[in-house]
Amino acid sequence: MSATVVQVFLVDDHALFRAGVRAELGDTVEVVGEAGTVADAVTGIVRTRPQVVLLDVHLPDGGGRAVIEGVHRAWPECVFLALSVSDAADDVVAVIRAGARGYVTKTIQPDDLVDAIHRVHEGDAVFSPRLAGFVLDAFSGHAAPVADPELDLLTPREQDVMRLIARGYTYRESATHLHLSVKTVETHVSAVLRKLQLSNRRELTSWASERRLL
Amino acid sequence: MDGDAITFPRRDEGRVVAGVAAGFSRRHGVDVAVVRGALVVLTFAAGIGLVVYAAGSLLSRPSPDPRLDDEPTMPVDVRRNAAVVLITLGLLSIVRSTGLWLGDQVMVPLGVLVAGVVVLAMVRTDDGASTPLSALIAGRHARARITVGAVLVSLGLLAVGVGNAVSSTVRVGVFAAAVSILGIAMLVGPWIAGLAQAAAEEHRQRIRSEEREAMAAHLHDSVLQTLALIQRSADDPRRTAALARQQEHELRSWLYGGDAASDATLASAVTGMARDVEQRHDVRIEVVTVGDAPMTEPLQALLAAAREACVNAATHSGETSASVYLEVAGDTAQVFVRDRGVGFDPADTATDRMGIAQSMVGRLERVGGAVRIHTSPGNGTEVEMSAPLGRADAAGGKVVS
């Protein structure tokens, strides 16, 4: 965990929540801007060029996805860490496939949030145990043939790493358990994130349409 | 399972006879009305339609359980529809050349009539509206389809009229019927369409208000009560957190959980068990599940062992949170219960200091499962439990609890 100060932009339509996060983030994170709507977020982010954007998934007028797509049109390298109340599979998948590098729920402890921000800033993916469980579920080998094995299947090592994360292990603990370096574990997790983003597996593309929110 | 390019599953829903046409249309992306129309016309051509249908039933697999059905649906493609039409025309001309033909004066009008009916029927399946009449009026290309359909039906009737093979009484009868139907349709059609639309709209409104009432009742019974309780126990942070957490779980599962019946499957039973332990022992338990299976006797033992592991994590670890991971793969189910607490020395054999009691280990091992404990002082504890899925066998096996 580095001691550098990461510049963060907050996007959430609950002003109270933004204020709470601002107060909790401590000294290694500097909040350079906030926004409560999609339009304000896109203009604010492109103007302030933060290192990480903390993005709420559920915004009116298109949600977190609209912000990611809007910003990436002007500035493709922007790094997004998605934050949400809901843990529903649709939200997770949609925002990751739009380009977020990680996903945490709003019940996360402040220290873990700071850690996640640093991790995403350093180029790694942040996987909650539930997201890891979902990945294992979505990529489990059904009998249906896969179009692109490189994108649509997890390697055994990647499955091992995902399984440990789903069991609640941190990257360091996973590295120890599997006798790998932390860097290797991070590489595997990033590879899985890429597959989650690019794979056209039916479970990922049709998931949102098959589920129906009340 | 899916490598067979020739067979296709039949479909029970939307079937007329055996679901062969419905299954074929779904698998190959052809409109079901086109398939049925082709079969009807071919039946008149020396019974070829019946032969094709019989071949279809032989080549097809029985309709799968709709809940397990993961057969991909081919989207309906205009070229595929055209292909089926052309194949039908080809078969018809083959039959014609063999002489087993009912005669052009019958077959041509029949073909035109069937084509007209198919075109009209395609309007309904295309837009899936609630009543056929409102669909006829409201579809995207409805006007074009209705015009083409009506022209084809009229041509068919006309051909009946000029054909020599039909006697004059039949001719007059057919025309009289057609004109009457057309006249009545023009008179009452718009009115009926209006009624249908109004009925559909009222139905929608009623559903919406019922949903709103159900949501209000639920929120009143649960969330409002909890919020009131939280305000009253604002001085007790642990109680406040526990109330909030419990309500969060409940609301979350109500919003996103669907109709999962708890305790019927392993995943929902484990989740329910974790919520229960959370409540009783005032801890936070995060549950992640991959895969699922129906509850059987070995899995009951696994569930009981997992519960004990959770309770021990809550009471002995010194921490206020634990995590549970369930994975069902192949024919085993595994549960990992982990905490980051004080851990213990595995050599210490006092029963109440084990990850789970000896009796629980025994019970799990008797059903073919296993328990492994990874722990050391200061490094937390992880209890790994596994059990075979133990499917109830076909010979009247009951689930014994």
The pLDDT profile of chain B, 401 residues, written as one tens digit per residue, is 343 556 777 776 666 667 777 788 877 878 877 888 888 888 877 778 888 888 888 877 776 665 555 556 667 778 888 888 899 889 888 888 887 777 777 778 888 888 887 777 776 544 444 445 544 545 455 566 667 777 777 777 777 666 666 567 767 777 777 777 777 777 777 778 788 888 989 999 999 999 888 888 888 778 888 888 888 888 888 888 888 888 888 887 777 665 455 668 888 899 889 988 888 888 888 888 888 888 888 888 899 889 988 988 888 888 888 999 999 888 889 999 998 888 777 666 554 545 567 777 788 888 888 888 888 787 788 889 999 987 654 333 334 43
Q: Are A160 and A207 in contact (CB under 8 A)?
A: no
Is A143 in CB contact (< 8 Å) with chain B?
yes
Is A149 in CB contact (< 8 Å) with chain B?
no
The amino acid at A117: I
Length of chain B: 401
Is A168 in CB contact (< 8 Å) with chain B?
yes
pLDDT of residue B127: 44
Residue written as token pair 């404990």: B373
pLDDT of residue A44: 93
* B255–A137 CB contact, under 8 Å: no
Q: Is the dihedral of CA B338, B344, B349, B350 positive or negative?
A: negative
Residues of B within 8 A of A143 (CB-CB) are 1-2
Residue in B with minimal Cα distance to A203? B70
User: CA-CA distance, B373 to B384, in Å (whole number)?
Assistant: 6
pLDDT of residue B29: 78
User: CA-CA distance, A114 to A24, in Å (whole number)?
Assistant: 9
pLDDT of residue A214: 24
Inter-chain Cβ pairs, chain A and chain B, closer than 8 A = 57
Angle at A34 between CA A33 and CA A38, to 5 degrees: 125
Residues 42-81 of A with CB under 8 A from B: none
User: CA-CA distance, B227 to B229, in Å (whole number)?
Assistant: 5
User: CA-CA distance, B154 to B160, in Å (whole number)?
Assistant: 10
Q: Which residues, other chains included, contact A87 with Cβ-Cβ below 8 Å and sequence gap of 6+? A: A105, A130, B252, B256
B288 closest CB neighbour out of A130, A143, A202: A130
The stretches of chain A forming alpha helices (DSSP H) are: 15-24, 38-48, 63-74, 89-98, 110-121, 129-138, 149-152, 156-166, 171-178, 182-198, 202-205, 207-210
pLDDT of residue A195: 85
A167 closest CB neighbour out of B2, B211, B338: B338
DSSP H or E run through B48: helix B48-59
pLDDT tens string, chain A, 214 residues long: the values are: 456 889 999 999 888 888 888 888 878 889 999 999 999 999 999 999 999 999 988 888 878 888 998 998 888 889 999 988 876 777 777 888 888 888 888 878 888 889 889 989 988 888 888 888 888 887 776 545 566 667 778 888 998 999 998 888 888 889 999 999 989 998 999 888 888 888 776 666 654 444 433 2
Question: Starting at the edge strand that comes first in sequence, how are the strands of the sheet with B370-375 ordered?
Answer: B284-290, B321-329, B332-339, B381-388, B370-375
pLDDT of residue B15: 63
Closest CA to B66 of B2, B126, B9: B9
pLDDT of residue A9: 94
* A202–B72 CB contact, under 8 Å: yes
* B288–A132 CB contact, under 8 Å: yes
Q: Which residues, other chains included, contact B228 with Cβ-Cβ below 8 Å and sequence gap of 6+? A: none
pTM: 0.60
Name the region of A136 (left: φ>0; alpha: ψ -120 to 50; beta: rest): alpha
Q: B99: which DSSP letter?
A: T
The torsion angle over the Cα atoms of residues B220, B226, B230 and B233, rounded to 10 degrees, is: 120
Q: Are A56 and A84 in contact (CB under 8 A)?
A: yes
Is A87 in CB contact (< 8 Å) with chain B?
yes
B2 closest CB neighbour out of A133, A144, A214: A144
B2 closest CB neighbour out of A133, A143, A213: A143
